[in-house]
Amino acid sequence: MSAPAYMIAARRTQIAPRSGALAALQADQLAAPVVRTLLQDADMPPASVDQVFLGNALYAGGNPARLAALRAGLPLGVPAMTVDTQCCSGLDAIILAARLIEAGAADCILAGGAESFSRAPIRLTRPMDKNAEPVPYDRPPFAPPPFADPDLTDAAARLASQNGVGRERQAEFAVASHASAIKAQGVLKRVDALDQEENPRDGFTRNLTVTTAMRAPVLAGNDTSGVTAATTACEADGAAAVLLVSEQVWKASGKPALKILAGRSVGGDPADPALVPIAVAEALFDQLALDISDFAAIELMEAYAVQAMVTAERLGIVPSQLNRLGGALARGHPIGASGAVLAVQLFEIMLRTSGNAGNIEKSRGLALIAAAGGLGSGLAVERVDCKGG
């Protein structure tokens, strides 16, 4: 029988739009201060870390996890692994860490994600002919022929059209996301990767109105239900990570924690990547013998307003459960870090800011995210303390 893993610390940097406040920093430079702060929060020495898992989607090699571990001052003997499942990377890194602890193979793991759109390498395809020029490309294929591999914005626009989700409804959802994020600005505890502010704010969050959102240009689809710049999460830089420990280490710490109930990664149709988190949630519910009403806080990735709206509607998520501190529409989408940001948000809501974010009537939380290629990941947690764990 496996032993549970516990999240005893969680931190993230501010999230900044591409070419914004964090543009000068590489992914590992963003992650390093998060790693150091996690250990300080947990009052644990660097030598206690058994492993580092870090999600990253845009760097195409180089093992940013190892760079971040060394930059953070971890001992040379601590191994580090970079995980790439695109948008799911950060959450998958946490799930991998939990499974290693559950298997009894580790007692303390740092896991999360880091991404810099601003510093990501320019991609080129090496030519077959040595005399030919390399060919630039924006993204790699996420599914091979004969599978569909749609542009994600086009896929979101198609989802909106098929489900009759108009531009104004999408705009209203985005406005609500920004409003929740603004309300939470004073209570979130973030790490400043630039070491300039005590608790830096996310750079994209603003007082958005429906009128302003409706003026945003349509990126894909039609004027009736198209996806716009206001209803799409902006490309962003940032890092997020958590500290996972075994039950023995948790009890010795004396700290309240989030117990990892289950983590799942699921594959689905690459043509409809936005819908895979529905299957993830249903698999978790079956595994845990729970349903959506058993979760007080649900962090659902808002890559596109319509993606989050359709997923929430089909799963029966009510507004009081969803993205209490604001979603990615209000902060941005640092691809490989976004899943880890969801886990940190759950930690914020359930352990640090519950008095400010509304009463938590139930002790469970859920994070869900989709990725290109038809992937989805989810993490279910439960708030516990050392007396009643």
Nearest of 310, 286, 315 to residue 298 by alpha carbon = 315
Catalytic residue among 88, 108, 178, 333: 333
| 178: annotated active-site residue | no
Q: Residue 141: which residues within 8 A CB-CB, separation 6 or more? A: 149
**Structure token digits, residue 78:** 């601590």
* CA 54 – CA 280 distance, rounded (Å): 21
β 16-17/108-116 pair status? unpaired
Are the beta carbons of 23 and 119 closer than 8 angstroms? yes
* CA 285 – CA 333 distance, rounded (Å): 27
**Structure token digits, residue 20:** 């914004």
Q: Residue 77: which residues within 8 A CB-CB, separation 6 or more? A: none
Helices 152-163 & 305-315 angle (0-180, nearest 10): 50
Q: Burial level of 113, CB count in 10 A (0-12/13-18/19+)?
A: buried
Nearest of 183, 180, 216 to residue 322 by alpha carbon = 180
Q: What is the dihedral of CA 113, 118, 121, 122, to 10 degrees?
A: 140
CA 365 remoteness from chain centre: 14
Are the beta carbons of 180 and 330 closer than 8 angstroms? yes
DSSP string, 92-129: HHHHHHHHHHHTTS-SEEEEEEEEETTTPPPPEEPPSS
Are the beta carbons of 339 and 240 closer than 8 angstroms? no
Are the beta carbons of 389 and 291 closer than 8 angstroms? no
* CA 131 – CA 207 distance, rounded (Å): 53
**Structure token digits, residue 192:** 């400043």
Catalytic residue among 87, 88, 108, 234: 87
Q: Which residues are catalytic?
A: 87, 333
